[in-house]
Amino acid sequence: MKRHNIQLNEAGELHHFLDVEGLKRELLVNILDAAESFTSVKAQQVKKVPLLRGKAIVNLFFEPSTRTRNTFELAAKRLSADTLNVNISTSATSKGETLLDMLNNLEAMHCDMFVVRHAQSGAAHFIAQHVAPHISVINAGDGSHAHPTQAMLDMFTIRRHKGAFADLKVAIVGDILHSRVARSQIHALTTLGVTEVRVIGPKTLIPDDTASLGVHIYHDIWEGLRDVDVVIMLRLQKERMSGALLPSEHEYFKLYGLSPEKLAIAKPDAIVMHPGPINRGVEISSEVADGPQSVILEQVSNGIAVRMAVMSILMGQTFGKEKGASE
Amino acid sequence: MNHIETEQCLAQMASELKALIQQRGMQSPLMIGIHTGGVWVAEKLYEKLQLSDPLGSLDISFYRDDFTRIGLHPEVKPSNLPITVEDRHIILVDDVLHTGRTIRAALNEIFDYGRPASISLAVLVERDGRELPIEANVVGQHVELSANQHIKLEGPERLQLVVQEDE
Amino acid sequence: MKILIKGGRIIDPANKLDAQHDLFIDKGLIAAIGQAPDGFSADQVIDASGQIVIPGLIDLQARLREPGQEHKGTIESETRAAASGGITTLCCPPDTIPIIDTPAVAKLILERAKQTNRVHVLPIGALTTGLKGEHLSEMHTLHEAGCIAFSNSDAPISNTLVLRRAMEYAASHGLTLFMHANDKWLAQGGVAHEGPVGLRLGLAGIPESAETVEVARILALVEQTGARVHFGQLSTGRAVEMLQRARQRGLPVSADVAVHQLHLTEMDLLDYNSYCHVLPPLRSQRDRDALRSGLKDGTIIAICSDHQPHDVDAKQAPFADTEAGISAVETLLPLTLRLVDDGLLELSEAIAKLSHGPAKILGLNAGHLGLDGRADVCIFDPDTHWSLQEDNMQSQGKNSPFLAWDFKGQVTHTLRAGRLSYQKPESGR
């Protein structure tokens, strides 16, 4: 039995953006192309376009994240949408008002889109399954599962620097096990057809099953970085270091932190990426983070264009609407 | 199908534009074409007028008033205005002036880039069917079409107009 | 009350019987099979032609939610559901609120079950006080109060010395222990099988080793203490292998499997279906196949429902925030019959896993249709096609991943101690 992809409407258009996995290459390329056109908006004196005028977008954040929320909010505002930020500490919903109660409440306010971040994997799917059919849901990070807009802005950044995906070797370094960013990046890279995706880290952060995602596992970074075109460093959560997953920050940096010496193993024109915020001296040295191969800040500004693209594509899906003639 | 050559029209438009520039005393006007046909027409006129500043282009997809009905155009291009429009005399160029909605969107977009000194409109073809109070300053040719007919520009090397009919 | 069950195909694995006979019930006991006893005149005749007559089912693990969680289910609602599924005896684990660690709670449950009078309810006593894994419970007293076996349910006994003492004490009094093999530390925070699917979905994993490490620890102590241990709801192929070896060496150990583990795998989690959130988790296809062959070769001698009814809210949340468990008493028989359709088991083998097998584990004179045995009987129509729907479920909990599944074979009558505890409404025979 083929499962219906909840992200697509009956015409195969993107209705929710929950996960990169299961989406066709063509859809991903559409997002990248649309994002390309939105990059010109920031050159305008009035940095907004009227595309989503009158639409209401709710940022539903069950997990604190100022950075991600800001870029979504800015993207929505540049599209002239009205935005509402709802920050809910998980403890408040754990008893009493359920998540569904809260959704019903927000729907009653006539919203058009939810941007959801939640500490539990599958939360955005759950919300998408339960919202009214006209509402689109964007997953802004669910547990360890997916962070599709982050992955797409990374793809956008890679394409801007490398052109085509076909011949690229990409290394992702760090905590794959707990990283929603890494999962979405891996699905995006394999869907867009790169030559090879490598993941680099100790077994405590990269279980053997990771190979089932279509990647090659390296425990030795000196081998893993050889001849790669793109190095993606993942953020190491502090709480992972205090636990039993890793002995110390010091040893992690020694083994897996990106230093100029290690970067020299990669291709000379390799770019260095990081979803931020950076732990300097833990996963990446300042020299590399601020160096000529780093595109970390560019990722941040690309994030807005990519999110504008995703929002417009979801809101502009035409299935079930009258196909009006256009001049 | 009925192909109409445009070379003569373009020459005539260039001379009319030259006159307009002089008459209005426009200092180094800035030409902007509207994607896709408008850019082709603008390229020809730009060459004939030998303007000093680079040619700009606009994709008005983000400013369309029918987004909620037809969605985002799949081949949307970035707008490219190489220099500021602030206090400049703008010559906006499009291929066909029909309902006027495209020009409305283009005007809105230009104003989001800054406040120009003036905007003039040049179109290769003007047809009936206006839905907004918008008229062109320079017109290549007037065409009368019935409601089921469309006129389309083919290019970009050799610009030809084609009249098509719905079944 | 004299009942005649007329013309059914009687399958009684314990007595190696599979034939069409009349069954005579008198004073709650099986009075005769085949020929009517002298002077028997039936007060009630049940026409069982075309139907199959089997011993009432014995379910080794079903939570009734009473006392303490009546919003999920009550002894009244859940024994009604169990009877409709052909169950005549069930064991309820000690994790009620309050916990079954005093005779008073055990007696309360027995009393309520007696009032509702549909199913023999056998409470399982807490192995340690409050299930805290620290102090031994008064096992002997609890046994006298009606506890059939002892278990720490899903709560860990981290201290191996406490576990050893509990097993020694149980062995001294010939008491059976029901163990749920789950290493607390390896399973910590996990909600799904640790494997490719859980990894893809970003669900924290429970590795196979969470089960095998605990099975190994318990087997080592069985060897030392001689305690009689039954492993409830095994989920991994490796644990089945370990158990098989232990049984070959003559250790007094046995195992059951939850029926959903024989039909579902980790793949069923792909839509974050919270109805598939169970503990131990749904594992790989390979594990499912190993559990099936363990069942076939006799390493696993019973199939249980692991019934856990829930209120609606308990399943309406992102996967990891939902509560684990399936409302399962009504699908125990049909899902077991599916194993026959799948060609895994003979019909009588399948029936044995639900009757004679669990009775042996509990040391009960039940699960068979022998003369003068208690007349616990289930009658089902093997050819009825039906589909599980929320509104035809008797259980208060509608949380089943088998909703909308099509089943073949449906219970028409259940008799407990010679008295009808369920009759399919429209059958009216």
User: For the domain that residue C298 is a member of, what is the CATH number?
Assistant: 3.20.20.140
pLDDT number for residue A46: 81
Same domain membership, residue C84 and residue C230: yes
Report the residue of chain B nearest A34, measured CA to CA. B76
pLDDT number for residue A45: 81
Q: How far is C313 from chain A (nearest CA, A)?
A: 8
**Type of residue at A305:** A
Of A22-31, B144-153, C171-180, C202-211, the least confident: B144-153
Q: What is the mean pLDDT of residues C67-72?
A: 96
Q: Which among C62, C66, C95, C123 is positioned nearest to C306, based on CA atoms?
A: C62
C370: in domain: no
pLDDT number for residue A108: 83
Same domain membership, residue C332 and residue C192: yes
Q: B77, A37: Cβ pair inside 8 Å? A: yes
Q: How far apart are CA C356 and CA B120, in angstroms?
A: 94
Report residue A201: phi and psi, to 5°. 165, 175
Q: How many CB pairs under 8 A join A and B?
A: 76
Same domain membership, residue C309 and residue C252: yes
Contact indicator for B42, B55 with CB cutoff of 8 Å: yes
pLDDT number for residue A100: 84
Residue B112 with chain A: CB contacts under 8 Å: 44-46, 48-49
Q: What is the mean pLDDT of residues A22-26?
A: 94
Residue B166: HSE in the Cβ half-sphere, 13 Å Cα cutoff: 7
Q: How far is C85 from chain A (nearest CA, A)?
A: 29
Report the residue of chain C nearest A7, measured CA to CA. C271
Q: By CB neighbour count within 10 A (0-12 exposed, 13-18 middle, 19+ buried), where does A22 fall?
A: middle
Substitution target from C191, C200, C275 for chain A, most A beta carbons within 10 A: C200
Report the residue of chain A nearest C274, measured CA to CA. A126
* Other residues' Cβ atoms within 10 Å of the Cβ of residue A239: 9
Q: A318, B70: Cβ pair inside 8 Å? A: yes
Same domain membership, residue C49 and residue C62: no
Q: How far is A292 from chain C (nearest CA, A)?
A: 34
Same domain membership, residue C347 and residue C380: no
Report the residue of chain B nearest A308, measured CA to CA. B62
Residue C196 with chain A: CB contacts under 8 Å: 209, 212-213
Q: What is the mean pLDDT of residues A245-263?
A: 93
Substitution target from A78, A80, A318, A327 for chain B, most B beta carbons within 10 A: A327
Q: Which among A166, A145, A231, A188 is positioned nearest to A29, based on CA atoms?
A: A188
C369: in domain: no
Residue C194 with chain A: CB contacts under 8 Å: 207, 209
pLDDT in tens, A202-235: 999 999 999 999 999 999 999 999 999 999 999 9
Closest CB to B71: pick one of A41, A45, A316.
A316
Q: Long-range contacts: C239-243, Cβ < 8 Å, 24+?
A: C239/C181, C239/C211, C239/C212, C239/C215, C240/C290, C240/C291, C240/C293, C240/C294, C240/C299, C240/C300, C241/C290, C242/C212, C242/C215, C242/C216, C243/C215, C243/C219, C243/C294, C243/C299, C243/C300
All residues at 6 or more sequence positions from C234 whose CB lies less than 8 Å from its CB, including other chains? C181, C211, C215, C240, C243, C255, C256, C257, C261, C280, C291, C294, C300
Confidence class for position A5, pLDDT limits 50, 70, 90: confident
Q: How far is B26 from chain A (nearest CA, A)?
A: 23
Residue B68 with chain A: CB contacts under 8 Å: 315-316, 321
Closest CB to A143: pick one of C194, C202, C270.
C202
Query: C42: domain range?
Result: 2-53+376-423
Report the residue of chain C nearest A179, measured CA to CA. C202
Substitution target from A63, A100, A126, A183 for chain C, most C beta carbons within 10 A: A126
Q: How far apart are CA B133 and CA B123, in angstroms?
A: 15
3-state helix, strand, coil in chain C (%, to 5): 35, 25, 40
Strand partners, B32: B56, B92
C252: in domain: yes
Closest CB to B112: pick one of A30, A44, A316.
A44
pLDDT number for residue A67: 86
Report the residue of chain A nearest B115, measured CA to CA. A45
Q: Which residues of C are catalytic?
A: 306
Closest CB to B59: pick one of A37, A316, A327.
A37
Of A89-98, C58-67, C180-189, the least confident: A89-98
pLDDT for C346 beyond 50: yes
Same domain membership, residue C339 and residue C276: yes
A140 touches chain B (CB under 8 A): no
Q: How far apart are CA C332 and CA C246, in angstroms?
A: 28
Strand partners, C11: C18
pLDDT number for residue A102: 82
Domains of chain B are 2-20+27-165 (3.40.50.2020)
Supply the ipTM of this predicted assembly.
Answer: 0.90
Q: A144, C320: Cβ pair inside 8 Å? A: no
C141: in domain: yes
Q: How far apart are CA B107 and CA B128, in angstroms?
A: 20
Q: What is the mean pLDDT of residues A63-68?
A: 85
pLDDT for C429 beyond 50: no
Q: How far is A76 from chain B (nearest CA, A)?
A: 13
Q: A327, B101: Cβ pair inside 8 Å? A: yes
A175 touches chain C (CB under 8 A): no
Q: What is the mean pLDDT of residues C406-411?
A: 96
Contact indicator for C91, C62 with CB cutoff of 8 Å: yes
Query: Which pair of structure tokens corresponds to residue C202?
Result: 């970003």
Q: How far is B11 from chain A (nearest CA, A)?
A: 26
Q: How far is A320 from chain B (nearest CA, A)?
A: 10
Residue A180 with chain C: CB contacts under 8 Å: 202
C428: in domain: no
Query: Which pair of structure tokens corresponds to residue C264?
Result: 């579902």
Q: How far apart are CA C344 and CA A40, in angstroms?
A: 65
Strand partners, C120: C89
Q: C272, A212: Cβ pair inside 8 Å? A: no
Q: What is the mean pLDDT of residues C236-249?
A: 97
A144 touches chain C (CB under 8 A): yes
Query: Which pair of structure tokens corresponds to residue C159?
Result: 């201290």
Chains that touch C (3 or more CB pairs under 8 A): A
Same domain membership, residue C343 and residue C298: yes
pLDDT in tens, A156-180: 999 999 999 999 999 999 999 999 9
Unique residue bearing structure tokens 């002894």? C75
Q: What residues of chain B have any CB closer than 8 angstroms to a CB in chain A?
A: 59, 61-64, 66-72, 74-81, 86, 98-99, 101-102, 108-109, 111-114
C177: in domain: yes
Q: How far apart are CA C192 and CA C194, in angstroms?
A: 6
pLDDT for C265 beyond 60: yes
**DSSP notation for A119-157:** SSTTHHHHHHHHS-TT-EEEEEEETTTB-HHHHHHHHHH
Q: What is the mean pLDDT of residues B65-71?
A: 77
Q: How far is B2 from chain A (nearest CA, A)?
A: 20
Unique residue bearing structure tokens 């979905």? C201
Residue B18: HSE in the Cβ half-sphere, 13 Å Cα cutoff: 12
A301 touches chain B (CB under 8 A): no
Residue A91 with chain C: CB contacts under 8 Å: none
Q: How far apart are CA C385 and CA C389, in angstroms?
A: 13
Q: C200, A213: Cβ pair inside 8 Å? A: yes
Counting the structural domains of chain C, the total is 2
| pTM of the entire predicted model | 0.89
Substitution target from C321, C322, C405, C406 for chain A, most A beta carbons within 10 A: C321
Query: Which pair of structure tokens corresponds to residue C118?
Result: 């549909």
**Type of residue at B137:** N
pLDDT for A55 beyond 70: yes
Is the pair B, A in contact (3+ CB pairs within 8 Å)?
yes
Query: Which pair of structure tokens corresponds to residue B119?
Result: 């905007």
Same domain membership, residue C347 and residue C200: yes
Q: A313, B102: Cβ pair inside 8 Å? A: no
Report the residue of chain C nearest A141, measured CA to CA. C202
Q: Which CATH number fits the domain that encloses residue C405? A: 2.30.40.10
Q: How far is A27 from chain C (nearest CA, A)?
A: 21
pLDDT in tens, C277-315: 999 999 999 999 999 999 999 999 999 999 999 999 999
Same domain membership, residue C302 and residue C193: yes
pLDDT number for residue A96: 58
Q: C318, A123: Cβ pair inside 8 Å? A: yes
Euclidean distance between the first and final Cα of chain A, in Å?
Answer: 43
Residue C209 with chain A: CB contacts under 8 Å: none
Q: B71, A317: Cβ pair inside 8 Å? A: yes
Q: How far apart are CA C126 and CA C103, in angstroms?
A: 11
Domains of chain A are 25-146+302-315 (3.40.50.1370), 148-300 (3.40.50.1370)
C72: in domain: yes
Q: B74, A30: Cβ pair inside 8 Å? A: yes
Last-in-domain residue among C335, C362, C389: C362
Q: B72, A312: Cβ pair inside 8 Å? A: yes
Listed by number, the residues of chain A in 230-259 with a beta carbon closer than 8 Å to a beta carbon of chain C are none
pLDDT in tens, A106-144: 888 889 999 999 999 999 999 999 999 989 999 999 999
Q: How far apart are CA A8 and CA A6, in angstroms?
A: 6
Confidence class for position A90, pLDDT limits 50, 70, 90: low
C294: in domain: yes
Same domain membership, residue C320 and residue C209: yes
Same domain membership, residue C405 and residue C392: yes
Same domain membership, residue C277 and residue C224: yes
Contact indicator for A303, A160 with CB cutoff of 8 Å: no
Closest CB to A207: pick one of C199, C201, C317.
C199
